[in-house]
Structure 1
Amino acid sequence: MPISGSTAAGIVESIRDLVDRGVLTGGDRLPPVRGLADTLGVNRNTVQSAYRQLVTAGVAVSRRGAGTTVAGVPGTVTEGAARGPGIGSPGTLVDIGHGNPDATFLPDPATVRLSPAPPPLYGTSATHPELGRVALRLLGPDLADRAEDAVISVTAGAVDAIERLLATVTVTGDAVALEDPCFLSSGTTTRLAGYRVFPVPVDGEGMQVQPLRDALAAGARAVVCTPRAHNPTGVSLTPGRACALREVLKEHPGVLVVEDDQFAGLSRSRYETVIPAGHPRWALVRSMSKSLGPDLRTALVASDPETAERLSRRINGGTTWVSHLLQRTVAAMLSDGAVRSQLSRASAHYASRNRVFLGKLAEAGLSSPSVDGLNIWVDLGVPSTAATRELRSAGWIVRDGALFRAGGPSAAGRGAGVAGAGGGGAEETCVRLTVHELDDAEMDRLVADLAVVAGRCL
């Protein structure tokens, strides 16, 4: 292998050049540190430093006992249809892994009237004033003492907001604390950005306290937390847990705290904040995707002035702004009585259908911590990847719980929380289901199939 270089930087440049030219590809193992050091006539520390830089840059992956290998192109997993073998056979598979809202409960943007407005030009404020006012009215009560100084920003959805917010305080190689399991796109985004992920397990009360304390002590520069209707588990923070998390975060004023309140417009749970009073770096993100529809690509972000300014620079350097036509539409929809009534009906629908399904699960001896949101997190007590295959054979497409691990699917089972794995390197045993579109008979059939896969008899 023609690796060259007499310094760490030189070795890094040589290996990156080999990767760029296709001489080295994903999965190729790099030479052992001692062997390459002897070949190049350099100190072993020089090679170790080079390998560390490659790992930080995402060019290589290092695993204990397996050496250092070239990283492949990371795969991405997103919400929506869970594609796989058999998906092209209409009527043979029911997709309950999609994570989508019910389209019949999404308001039609065409039903709201927009007042005349001059077309925005370059240099126009990125946040339309009408949406800014509506956002402050909606978010103000939850911001409490932070409302007076809060600045409203608008991003192209929650994932866009989180990606740009993290970039305001972190660089490649920095550590970010994420819930474990976590939202699909949050985990993917942080890994693609080259951040080190510190998984913080979630239990029935939300993000766990001691693991968060450990992550902060280890150098996490940002924390992303879901206050309610956590995706995938459906868990919401309890008042006591939120208070305990605030006490931990209070000791780390330099850390950016991001709350991803993605189900705010539909949630049946009370909003509990983890942001300490007077905390200098914070952001509350509320997406419109679940309530008004994913295609509006809009999220509201309330944050402290400095974070808002940094976020603005990130937005201006990329998309520049979210279309004011979309912003005005969102403002009109959020202010429309008929739309608000439809959102109330949607919230009741999701809660009612999930409650029925949870009751059927309990009768079958299956457990779930889910209390709110679009999805149900079920512990089958057997490896989730195998369970997912068996359920597909029975006609169901579900989401493998291993996909939601904060450290990626290969990290399944390392945390102790609502994941059935329980830690110690065991396999993930949970799956995520989106069942609010099923009727009672379909739910009965699904529960029966889940029980069979879990090894139970009805």
Structure 2
Amino acid sequence: MERDVTLQISGRSAAEIAASVRTLIERGELAPGEPLPPVRSLAETLGVNRNTAVAAYRQLTLAGMVVTRGRGGTHVADPSPVAQEGFAADSVLRDVATGNPDPDLIPDPSRALAKVAGRPVLYGEPVVDPGLERWAASWMRPDLAPTDVRLTITSGAADAVERLLAQALVRDDAVALEDPCFLTSIHTVRVGGYRAVPVPVDDEGMTVEGLRSALEQGVRAVVCTPRAQNPTGASLTERRARDLRAVLRAHPYVLVIEDDHFSMLSRRPFHSLIGPEHRRFALVRSVSKFLGPDMCLAVTASDPETADRLAMRLSPGTTWVSHLLQRLVLALVTDPEVVDGIETAGAHYADRNHAFAERLTALGVPTDAGDGLNLWVALPVPARDVSEQLMRRGWLARAGDAFALDEATDAPAARRLRLTVHDLAGHDADRLAADIAAAVRAAGGRLVAAGVG
């Protein structure tokens, strides 16, 4: 196949070679994911300098037509969409894969809305509401070791991460992502044309050797979830955060983005991998998990240069976050009743997840509940086989390979289910747990006897 592709490509200059490859892609003669010839063999076949072939591939990479995978070579870009969070449309199955917070635990904004009306905000005014900025400073700065920190408001955490990467990177730059990874982060990196470098996650969060390897591969940014990692529920321990900071000490200009998405709901202490001397960093906290996904607002605390670059992408009057929304968020997070409700919600998610993990363990599917909205359930058989069995029993679950950067069929995530079960109790929770155990058996898996494993 490689020889056939090489023979189809023509041209003497980099522009001609790139145009030839692009034509083959547009005609469907090169399929998404298909490998392109190595630079050396392409140059030899076309009788051009190796640098000419390199330049052609670089043009295609910048155009988003191809992606490079280091030693894995250059491949036609795959435009297929990444799976997203949320309800499955038009499904008659009970959806336990949503990743959504409980709508009954999201505060009613009606009373707060009456407080936010006031003087209209005009073009050219500061993009951050002064009251929200004062509250956000007390929320963010104590958790960052660097002292020179500035605040920015964006339309949610995904918006913040996308803008942070865009102001620091160009297409084909390498980004370290947790593996398994939050679906939105995978989507953001793919759409931006960056190259994802997987960093394994264990029970203490991002691994030290994984981060070290990613830095050796030349990543220019690291995206990490310090608490309630999605999908695993892992949180950085104090020891792990310290060891990660030690690795990053030799790379102070690599942009480190911490997405503390669960923040006020988390049952775990916050430990940062951003050291006091790190020069490029951003801590992002959104309000979507405790005030609702439609409350599109996040606070970013970053170094001054990153803040300045981020601000350039949030020009007043065009892409700023509505001051009405900023005032509404401030009214809610400073309301003692709402704050108490957020604490109650955090305890609810933890209690429900722990209770369901105990149900599964008692039925022979040993499960530990991490932090966050979801459970990451280990299985003795491929998760897709179990999810198919669950569909026959009326449940829609999500197999772990959707979150994996490692595409190998035997990757650890391929034997995991991510479940959102905090809205199940009593009979419903018992039935799902029993159906999971039955699905494991039907897929050829063995259950673990109580007290074993």
| TM-score where L is the length of structure 2 | 0.88
Q: 1:95-127 CA distances to partner (integer Å, 9 max, x unpaired)? A: 000000000000111121425532112212111
Q: 2:434 aligns with which of 441, 448, 452?
A: 448
Contact 1:388 1:399 in 2 (8 A): yes
CA distance in 2, matches of 1:256, 1:68: 25
- 2:148 maps to 149
CA distance in 2, matches of 1:248, 1:327: 37
- 1:294 maps to 293
Question: What one-letter code is carried by the residue in structure 1 that aligns with 2:430?
Answer: D
Contact 1:25 1:72 in 2 (8 A): no
- 1:352 maps to 351
Question: What one-letter code is carried by the residue in structure 2 that aligns with 1:437?
Answer: D
Contact 2:354 2:369 in 1 (8 A): no
Contact 2:282 2:301 in 1 (8 A): yes
Question: What one-letter code is carried by the residue in structure 1 that aligns with 2:428?
Answer: E
Contact 2:123 2:316 in 1 (8 A): no
For residue 406 of structure 1, report the CA deviation from its aligned partner: 3.1
1:132 is the counterpart of 2:133: yes
Q: 1:399 to 1:29 in 2, by over 3 A?
A: closer
Q: 1:99 to 1:37 in 2, by over 3 A?
A: same
For residue 23 of structure 1, report the CA deviation from its aligned partner: 5.9
- 1:96 maps to 96
CA distance in 1, matches of 2:33, 2:224: 36
Q: 2:19 aligns with which of 9, 13, 17?
A: 13
Q: 1:269 to 1:26 in 2, by over 3 A?
A: same
1:81 is the counterpart of 2:87: yes
CA distance in 2, matches of 1:383, 1:29: 26
Q: 1:222 to 1:331 in 2, by over 3 A?
A: same
Q: 1:28 to 1:39 in 2, by over 3 A?
A: farther
For residue 189 of structure 1, report the CA deviation from its aligned partner: 0.6
CA distance in 2, matches of 1:64, 1:135: 40
CA distance in 2, matches of 1:107, 1:274: 32
Q: 1:31 to 1:142 in 2, by over 3 A?
A: closer
Question: What one-letter code is carried by the residue in structure 2 that aligns with 1:435?
Answer: V
1:60 is the counterpart of 2:66: yes
Contact 1:222 1:255 in 2 (8 A): yes
Q: 1:53 to 1:386 in 2, by over 3 A?
A: farther
- 1:291-440 to 2 correspondences below 5 Å: 291-316=290-315, 320-406=319-405, 410-411=407-408, 413-414=410-411, 420=412, 428-440=414-426
Contact 2:380 2:446 in 1 (8 A): no
Runs of at least 5 residues in structure 1 that lack an aligned partner in the other structure: 415-419, 422-427
CA distance in 1, matches of 2:378, 2:396: 16
SS in structure 2 at match of 1:340: helix
What number of residue pairs does the alignment pair up? 436
- 1:191 maps to 190
CA distance in 2, matches of 1:28, 1:108: 46
Q: 1:387-437 CA distances to partner (integer Å, 9 max, x unpaired)? A: 222221221111121111135xx35655xxxxx35xxxxxx1111000000
Q: 1:168-224 CA distances to partner (integer Å, 9 max, x unpaired)? A: 221111111111111110011111111111110000111100110111111111111
Q: 1:37-69 CA distances to partner (integer Å, 9 max, x unpaired)? A: 577443566446534653564313578999865
1:117 is the counterpart of 2:123: no
SS in structure 1 at match of 2:314: helix
Root mean square deviation, CA, Å: 2.7
Contact 2:252 2:278 in 1 (8 A): yes
More helix by share: 2
Higher mean displacement: 365-374 or 202-211: 365-374
Question: What one-letter code is carried by the residue in structure 1 that aligns with 2:161?
Answer: I
CA distance in 2, matches of 1:43, 1:54: 17
1:242 is the counterpart of 2:241: yes
Higher mean displacement: 434-443 or 381-390: 381-390
Contact 2:68 2:172 in 1 (8 A): no
Runs of at least 5 residues in structure 2 that lack an aligned partner in the other structure: 1-6
Contact 1:206 1:238 in 2 (8 A): yes
Contact 1:105 1:342 in 2 (8 A): yes
CA distance in 2, matches of 1:279, 1:347: 31
SS in structure 1 at match of 2:294: helix
- 1:148-227 to 2 correspondences below 5 Å: 148-227=147-226
Contact 2:107 2:338 in 1 (8 A): yes
CA distance in 2, matches of 1:63, 1:133: 44
For residue 280 of structure 1, report the CA deviation from its aligned partner: 1.3
CA distance in 2, matches of 1:111, 1:12: 59
For residue 74 of structure 1, report the CA deviation from its aligned partner: 2.7
- 2:3 maps to none
1:105 is the counterpart of 2:111: no
- 1:40-55 to 2 correspondences below 5 Å: 40-43=46-49, 46-47=52-53, 50-51=56-57, 53-55=59-61
CA distance in 1, matches of 2:74, 2:304: 42
For residue 383 of structure 1, report the CA deviation from its aligned partner: 1.4
For residue 374 of structure 1, report the CA deviation from its aligned partner: 0.3
Q: 1:188 to 1:115 in 2, by over 3 A?
A: closer
Contact 1:391 1:450 in 2 (8 A): yes
